[in-house]
Amino acid sequence: MSIWIFFKLIGALALLMFGMKAMSESLQKMAGPQLRHVLGAMTTNRFTGILTGTFITAAVQSSTATTVMTVSFVNAGLLTLVQAISVIMGANIGTTLTAWIMSAGFSFNITDFVWPAFFIGIVLIYSKKRKLIGDFLFGVSFMFLGLGTLRQAGIDMDLAHNQAVLDFFSQFDPRSFFTTIVFLLIGSVLTMCVQSSAAIMAITMILCSTGVLPIYQGIALVLGENIGTTVTSNLAALTANTQARRAAMAHMVFNVFGVIWVLCVFHPFINMVCSWVGYDVDMPKTAAGFAANAAKLSFVLAAFHTTFNVTNTLVLAGPIKYLEKLVCKIIKPKANKDEDEFRLHFIQAGIMKTPELSVLEASKEIKSFAERIQRMFGMVRELLGEADTDKFNKIFTRIEKYEGISDNMEIEIAKYLDQVSNAHLSDETKDKVRSMLREISELESIGDACYNIARTESRRIRGKEDFTEEQYDHMHQMFELTDDALTQMNRILVGHRQDNDVNRSFNIENEINNYRNQLRSQNINDVNDHKYTYAIGTMYMDIIQECEKLGDYVVNVVEARMGVRQQEA
C-alpha cells in the first residue's frame, strides 16, 4: 500500500467524521430549544422514552449528542434515571441509521451526488434565513464524499491481493471464540481512542467488503464499537452528580449485557442475519459470485447492528427497574460536601458537546448561584445585632467565603458561556447567552452588596458602637423587603417566563426606594436632634443604601431573565 493511499484513507475518515459532526450540529441548531422540549415532554414512560431517544438520534445523527444531553438532563434534575435509561436505549437504536447510510455509500459511487449538494449548500449559506440548511447540506455532502473516498481507497488498496494483510488475518480462526474476544477488544479500544464509532464502522466495512476480514470478526469489531462508544457519556459524567453518573453507567451496562448474551448465540445469530440479507457465509473466495456476495457485507453489518440493538432493547425494556437498581448499587452516592465549598453543580467539564443544549446547564447553574446568594443574604441578617463575638466572627467568615465563591461562580459561568458563544448558535440562543451574562454580573453585584453590609457591621463592632432600637427595627424591615425581592427573583429564575409576573418585583423595588428615601430624611433629623452620633448614622445609612442597591441589582436580574425593561416614571 503506497503512502498516498494511506493518506487518502485517513483523510477520508477525517472528512467523514467532520461531515457527520457538521450535519449533526446544524440539525441541532435547526431544532434548537424544541429538541430539549421534545426530550422533556416525551419521556412519560419507558416506551415513549425509547421512541424519543430513537427519533432524536436518527434526526441529529449522533448518539453521543443524545446520550450527553440525557446525562445533562439527569444532572439538572429534569429526567429520572428510568426515563434517562429508556432514552439511551432508544439512542442505541437510532444510531444504527448511520450504519445503513454507510452501507449505501459502500454499495455504489455516492460521490456523484455530492457536487450538486455542495453548490446548493454554498448558495444557501449566504442566505441568512436558510444558512442552517446550507450547513446541513455541506455536512451531508462532506460525509458522503468521505464515504465515497473511503470506498475508492478500499478498492485502490486491493487488500484482497495484499499477502501481508491476508497473512495477518489468516492467523485468526474465524470460528474461534478467542478470536471473537480479541476483535471485540480491538473494536472497543479503537472506538475509545478515535471517539467515533462511525469511523471504526467505516474501516470495518472496508475490510469486510474487500473480502479480507471474515464476517464473524467484522461483527466482533462492531460489538466492540458498541462498548467503546459508551466511554464518551461516562467521561462526560465523571464530575456530574450521582444520578447523572448512574445514567452514563446504565449506557455501558446495557451495551455490555447485550454483548454478553449475543456472544452466547454468536454464530446462529449472525447466520440468521446473513440469511435475511442473502449473504452466503460459506462461499469460498474462488467461487464465481464471490465479489457480488462480498458486496453485501456492508448491509450485513448494518442489519446486524440494527437487529442487535433492537433485540437488546426489547430484552431490557421490561426489567428496566432492575437495571436501575443495578447501576444504583454500582454507583454509590457521593459523600455530602460542605455547601460553603466552591463547586459548580450543573456545568461539568467535558459535558459540553452540543452548544445549543449547553445553555440548559448554564441556566440551571445560574439558578443555583441565585439560591446561594440568597443564603448569603440570610447570613447577613443573622449578623445584624449579633452580640456574641465568636458567633459574629464565624458568620462574618462564612460571608467572606461566600463573597469569594460568588466571584468564582461569575467567572466560571462566564467562561462556559463564552465557550458556548464561540459556536454558531440560533438567534434565540444568542439572546439567551447575552441575558445570562447580564444575570451573573448582577448576581455577583448582589454578593458584593451583602459583603459590604457585613463589613459595615464589622466596622461598627470594632468601633464599639451600637444602633438604637428604632434603627434596628428599620433595618429589619428593610431586610424583610430585600429578602422578599430575592425570593421573587428566585421564583422567576425557576419558573417559566409566561407564568411569571415581573410587576411584583418592580413593586417591591419601589417600596425599597420609598422606604430608603423616608429613612434618609428621618436620619438627618435624628442626627440633628442628637438621638445618635453622626458616625452611627453614617453606618446605618450605609446599610440602608446597600439594601437599596441590592434591590436594583435584583430588578436587573429579573429584567434580563424576562427580556423586559421597567418603564421609567
Within a domain: residue 445? yes
**125 and 267 part of one domain:** yes
Lowest mean pLDDT among 108-112, 281-285, 395-399, 412-416: 108-112
Residue 345 included in any domain = no
Q: State the pLDDT at residue 77.
A: 64
Q: Are residues 462 and 538 in the same domain?
A: yes
Q: Are residues 367 and 325 in the same domain?
A: no
Residue 288 in any domain: the answer is yes
How confident is the model over 200-223, as a mean pLDDT? 80
Kindly report the three-state secondary structure assignment for every residue of 380-400: HHHHCCCCCHHHHHHHHHHHH
**Are 540 and 399 contained in the same domain?**
yes
Residue 71 has φ and ψ, to the nearest 5°, of -60, -40
Is residue 336 in some structural domain? Answer: no
Can you give the residue range of the structural domain that contains 159? Answer: 3-330
HSE of 62, CA atoms in CB hemisphere, 13 A: 26
Comparison of pLDDT for 499 and 507, the residue scoring more = 507
Mean per-residue pLDDT for 180-186?
A: 88
Q: Which residues, other chains included, contact 48 with Cβ-Cβ below 8 Å and sequence gap of 6+?
A: 42, 86
**Residue 569: per-residue pLDDT:** 31
Local structure of residue 79 (DSSP, 8 states): S
Is residue 285 over pLDDT 50? yes
> For the chain, what is the domain count?
2
C-beta separation of 484 from 553 below 8 A: no
Q: Which residues of 14-46 are buried (b: 16+ CB within 10 A; e: fewer)?
A: ebbbebbbbbbbbbbbbbbeebbeebeebbeeb
Average pLDDT, whole number, for the chain? 80
338 is a domain residue: no
Measured distance CA(187)–CA(147) in Å, rounded: 20
Q: Cβ of 275: how many Cβ atoms within 10 Å?
A: 11
Q: How far apart are CA 75 and CA 361, in angstroms?
A: 9
User: Is residue 380 classed exposed, middle or buried when 0-12, 13-18 and 19+ CB atoms within 10 A define those classes?
Assistant: buried
- Comparing 36 with 403, the larger pLDDT belongs to 403
Indicate if 470 and 325 belong to the same structural domain: no
DSSP run (H or E) holding 410: helix 389-421
Alpha-carbon gap, residue 426 to 259, rounded angstroms: 40
Check pLDDT > 70 for residue 419.
yes
Q: Could you tell me which residue, 274 or 548, shows the higher pLDDT?
A: 548
Q: Provide the 8-state DSSP code for 332.
A: P
Which three cell numbers, joined as nine digits, stand for 154? Answer: 478500499
410, 304: one domain? no
Contacts of 269 (CB under 8 A, 6+ apart): 262, 307, 308
If asked whether residues 305 and 385 sit together in one domain, one would say no
Domain boundary among 287, 314, 330: 330
Q: Which residue has the cell 416506551?
A: 47
In this structure, the answer to whether residues 321 and 394 fall within a common structural domain is no
Q: Clarify whether residues 199 and 317 are in a common domain.
A: yes
Q: In angstroms, rounded to a whole number, what is the distance separating the alpha carbons of residues 27 and 120?
A: 17
Residues 224 and 257 in one domain: yes
- Same domain? For 384 and 237 the reply is no
Q: Which amino acid is at 266?
A: F
Structure confidence by residue, pLDDT tens digits, 79-130: 778 888 888 888 888 878 877 877 776 666 666 677 888 888 888 888 777 7
What CATH number does residue 461 fall under? 1.20.58.220
Average pLDDT over residues 470-486: 94
Note whether residue 348 is domain-resident.
no
Give the pLDDT confidence score for residue 39 in this predicted structure.
59
Nearest-angstrom CA–CA distance, 356 and 432 = 10
| Domain end position, chosen among 295, 330, 365 | 330
pLDDT tens track for 4-25: 777 877 787 788 778 777 776 7
Residues 85 and 137 in one domain: yes
Average pLDDT score over residue span 169-185: 80
94 found inside a domain: yes
pLDDT (0 to 100) of residue 534? 92
184 lies in some domain: yes
How far is C-alpha 558 from the chain's CA centre? 26
pLDDT at 568 (0 to 100): 37
Question: Is 308 in contact with 270 (CB distance < 8 Å)?
Answer: no
List, in order, residues 6 or more apart from 20 with CB less than 8 Å away. 61, 62, 98, 139, 143, 196, 198
Query: Is it the case that residue 209 has pLDDT exceeding 60?
Result: yes
| Confidence bin at 511 (pLDDT 50/70/90) | very high
pLDDT digits (tens, 9 = 90+) for 430-454: 888 889 999 999 999 999 999 999 9
Q: In this structure, how many other beta carbons lie within 10 angstroms of the beta carbon of residue 128?
A: 7
Integer Cα distance of 498 and 108 in angstroms: 52
Tell me how far apart the alpha carbons of residues 219 and 508 are, in angstroms, rounded to a whole number. 66
